[in-house]
Amino acid sequence: MLRFSANISTLFTDMPFAARPDAAARAGFLAIEAQFPHAEMSAGAFGQAARDAGVEVVLINLPAGEFGQGERGLACLPGRREEFLAGVLRGGDYAAEIGCPRVNCLVGNVPDGSAPEACWETMVESLRLAAAALAARGVTLLIEPLNRRDNPRFILGGYAEADALLTEVGAPNMALQYDFYHAAAAGEDVLSGLERRIERIGHVQFSDFPGRGAPGSGWLDFPRLFRAVAHLPYEGWVGAEYFDPAPAGFAWRRDYGAD
């Protein structure tokens, strides 16, 4: 059975952040996710907004540096480990307070002039420390590749690299976030990658490719992908992380056999 969550950082953005949990609930979602809620509301206020709406918060991101200035996380950046770990503690405490069981970590861009190998070593050690800190809070750490069409310097540009990272870090509370859009934009076979990695996947997200819009706006085969998720040994949530500031409806849940 498919269980859909609404990403309120990309949906319902025509209204204040505090109103979006209720908007998601009114649209028929039982769960929400958000990218950086700690930059929008206190944990207490956000948790209360979710409870009032009757939705579960199933995913948030850890702080990712100066996101608006192009940073995409700090884990791989030599010299910024203390700042990264402070963000891990902040995000982990926030997640624990609102009852969110998993956090996603954007691991960062390789800085100009830095050796990718040194950044990789920094990332591995930083994620080991992060996973341990989050385990103490009962939170699962997710990692997510970002395609290099949109993020040319991101250190994890594909799922083979993410596989290697998960193996090298070796933390029991660490898993993969699998995003249909990023997989397609990276030139991967989205369905095959999903099937081969299902035991490592802690969360699924989707938007269509190209364009990062709703299902049906691009060329991804959502009926096939949703059927696969429904029949694979995956019991997690499937996050709608496409961009629509004022969605008029969610016809894809019917049109693609999701309801």
Mean residue pLDDT across the chain = 96
72 near 104, Cβ under 8 Å?
A: no
40 classed as catalytic:
no
Active-site residue (options: 144, 168, 188, 195): 144
Query: Between 159-169 and 190-197, two packed helices, what is the crossing angle to 10 degrees?
Result: 20
Q: Which residue has the higher pLDDT, 233 or 255?
A: 233
Q: What is the pLDDT of residue 78?
A: 94
Q: What is the mean pLDDT of residues 116-139?
A: 98
Token pair for 53: 């709406």
Closest CA to 214 of 178, 258, 177: 258
Element (H, E) at 88: helix 81-98
Q: What is the mean pLDDT of residues 121-126?
A: 98
- pLDDT tens figures, 186-224: 999 999 999 999 999 999 999 999 999 999 999 999 999
244 near 214, Cβ under 8 Å?
A: yes
pLDDT(257) > 70:
no
Closest CA to 62 of 78, 41, 86: 86
Domains of the chain are: 4-255 (3.20.20.150)
Closest CA to 24 of 256, 252, 247: 247
C-alpha 129/C-alpha 85 separation (Å) is 8
For residue 75, what are the CA distances in angstroms to 23, 79, 105, 125, 131? 34, 10, 8, 9, 12
Q: What is the pLDDT of residue 70?
A: 92
- Strand ranges, E, within the chain: 4-7, 31-34, 56-61, 102-105, 140-143, 174-179, 201-206, 238-240
- pLDDT tens figures, 60-86: 999 999 999 999 999 999 999 999 999
CA distance between the termini of the chain? 9
Q: Could you count the other beta carbons within 10 Å of the beta carbon of residue 52?
A: 12
Bridge partner residues of 140 (DSSP):
102
- pLDDT tens figures, 36-51: 999 999 999 999 999 9
pLDDT above 70 covers a percentage of the chain that reads: 99
C-alpha 186/C-alpha 145 separation (Å) is 9
Q: What is the pLDDT of residue 253?
A: 87
Report residue 3: phi and psi, to 5°: -125, 115
241 classed as catalytic:
yes
**3-class SS of residue 34:** strand
Q: What is the mean pLDDT of residues 158-169?
A: 97
Q: Could you count the other beta carbons within 10 Å of the beta carbon of residue 199?
A: 10
pLDDT(255) > 90:
no
Active-site residue (options: 33, 56, 188, 241): 241
Residue matched to tokens 């420390």? 129
